[in-house]
Chain A
Amino acid sequence: MLNQIETLYRRESRRVFATLVRLLRDFDRAEDALQEAFAAAMQQWPVEGLPKNPRAWLVSTARFKAIDRLRRDARMDSLEDLVEEPPAPPEKEQETIVDDQLRLIFTCCHPALASELQIALTLREICGLTTEAIAKAFLVAPATMAQRLVRGKAKIRLAGIPYEVPGQKQLPERLDAVLTVIYLVFNEGYHTSSGDRLHRPDLAEEAIRLGRLLLELLPHPEVRGLLALMLLHHARRATRTSADGDLLLLEEQDRSLWDQALIREGQALVESALATRPVGRFGVQAAIAALHAEAPTADATDWPQIGALYDVLLRLTPSPIVELNRAVAVAMRDGPEAGLALVDGLLARGELQQYHLAHAAKADMHRRLGQFEAARESYEHALALAQQEVEKRFLQKRLEEIDAQLA
C-alpha cells in the first residue's frame, strides 16, 4: 500500500496541487494542505483500502484540512476566499485537472514576475523540483533560491496575480512567456548547466508533458513548434553520449538508435506549425531540428536548407548565439573558411567571449583547415570556460588529438 501511495505521490501530487491552488488561492496553503492530505492517506488507506478515486479523495481531504487550519489560525476572512465548489462530475474531472495545471503555469509565468523567477516557480510548483535542485540548476545557493521563491509567491499574493488562464487578447504574449519557460525547463533536463550527467531525463519529459498539455488546450502553431522541437531533440537522447558517458557529436551518433516515432511526430508538428503564417521562432528551430533528424547520415544533412532557416531565425530573434549557430551551418555548407570569418567577427564584437561553445566552434573550424596551433589555442580557451564535466572531457580529448597532430 505504501508503494502505491508513493507512486501516486510521484504521479499526482503536482496535479492535485494545481487544483488546490485554484481552490485555496494561495501557494503555501495549497502546499501545506497537500502534505497533510498525503499524510492522512498514509494513515487511512492501509486500513480502509485505496479509495475509488484517490485524486478526488486527496483534493477533498486537502480542502478540509485547509479549512481546519484557517479556523485554527482564526483567519475567518480567508474562509470566504475559498471557492465554493461541488465536486466535478467524473467526465469533467480530467478537463478540470488540465485547466488547473494550465492556470498554474500561466500564473507562474506571469509577466509581473521576473523571468528567472518564472522558471524557478514553474520548476518548483509544476514540476515539483526541490529548492535545492533548482538552486543547483541556477548555480546559486539554496538559501538564495528559497528566498527568491518566497518573495515571488509573496508578490503573487500581494499584487493580486490571478490564478487564471489569460483571455484571448492577452493570450499570444502570455503564451510566448510560457513557451520560453517550458523550453528552459526542457533544456535544463536535456543539458544540465554543470555537474557530471549530461541530461536529467525526467525534466525533459516533464517539459514535453507540459508541452502536450498546452497543445491540447491551445492548438497554436508556436505550441506545435515548441513540442516538435523538444520531441526532435528527445528522439536523439539515447545517442548523445557514448557507453562511457562521453559526449558524441551529431556526426558521430548512431542514427539507428534515434527514436523514429518521436521524429515522425516532430516532423508532422513542424509541417503543421510552418503551414501557418507568420512562422514563429519555435517553428523555425523545430524545422532545423527536423532537417537534422531526417538525414540518414551526417553527410546527407541538408546544410543549405538549414543555413536558409537560420537566416529566417536571425530575422525573428537576432542574437549572437543564433549567429554562431548560423556560422556553424555556413561552415558546413560553404567550407570552414566562410564559417571562421563569421565566428571571428562575432568574437571580435565581444558578446561571445565568455561562451565556451564559440571558442569550441572556432577551434573545430581551424582543425578542419589543418590549422592545429590555432585550433589548440581555441580548444584551451573553450576548456577554460566549459562548466560541464562531459564537455570538458570532450574538449580535453580534442586537445590530445591536436597534440598528436602537432607531434
Chain B
Amino acid sequence: MKYMMLIYSDESVWTEEERANCMAESVALTHDLNARGQFISASPLHYVNTATSVRVRDGKTLITDGPFAETREQLGGYYIVDVANLDEALEIASRIPGARKGTVEVRPIFELDNLPIANQ
C-alpha cells in the first residue's frame, strides 16, 4: 500500500544547524527505505515564503503570493512510501526528523490505474 507523508512544522522553530541536520537525517532515511524496497519518492520543499497559490474561478486565474492557508505549521516536505500496512507507515513517519518538532500526516494514496509512470 502506498502512503504519502506530509511533513508540517513551524519554520521559525528550526535553527540553521537543526535544519541542516534534519536534511541529512532525512536523506539517510530515504536511502534506508530504498534499501528495503519501500521508497518511492521524497523531497524537502523551499521555505513557505517561496510559495505561490493559484485559484481558477469563473474562468479567471487568480495568482497570489504565499501558501494556500496562513497557518503556524506549514508543509515542509513529503515522502511517498510503499509498505504493507498503516503500522509500517506510522513507524516510518515516527522516524522522520520533522515529526520531532512538527506533525507528519500519513495519508493512504488513492491508486488509479491510468496514471503515467514518470520517464527516468
Contact = CB atoms under 8 A, between A and B. Distances in A.
Interface of A: 110, 112, 158-162, 164, 166, 170
B67 interface: no
Contacts of B84: 160, 162
Contacts of B3: 160
Contacts of A164: 85, 87
Chain B residues touching A, range? under 10
Contacts of B86: 110, 112, 159-162
Interface string B76-113: 00000000111101100000000000000000100000
Interface in B9-33: none
A166 B108 contact: no
B40 interface: no
Contacts of A170: 87
Given A160-B108, A162-B85, 20 more contacts: A110-B86, A112-B86, A112-B90, A158-B108, A159-B86, A159-B108, A160-B1, A160-B3, A160-B85, A160-B86, A160-B89, A161-B85, A161-B86, A162-B84, A162-B86, A162-B87, A164-B85, A164-B87, A166-B87, A170-B87
Most interface-central of B1, B3, B87, B108 (chain A CB within 10 A)? B87
A159 B89 CA distance: 10
A36 B84 CA distance: 30
Shortest 8 CB-CB contacts between residues of A and residues of B:
A162-B85, A160-B86, A160-B1, A160-B85, A161-B86, A159-B108, A159-B86, A162-B87
B79 to A, nearest CB: 16
A22 to B, nearest CB: 13
A110 B89 CA distance: 14
A258 B92 CA distance: 51
A170 B89 CA distance: 14
A161 B108 CA distance: 10
24 contacts: A110-B86, A112-B86, A112-B90, A158-B108, A159-B86, A159-B108, A160-B1, A160-B3, A160-B84, A160-B85, A160-B86, A160-B89, A160-B108, A161-B85, A161-B86, A161-B87, A162-B84, A162-B85, A162-B86, A162-B87, A164-B85, A164-B87, A166-B87, A170-B87
Contacts of A160: 1, 3, 84-86, 89, 108
Contacts of A161: 85-87
Most interface-central of B84, B85, B86 (chain A CB within 10 A)? B86
Nearest to B83: A160
Contacts of B108: 158-160
A65 to B, nearest CB: 26
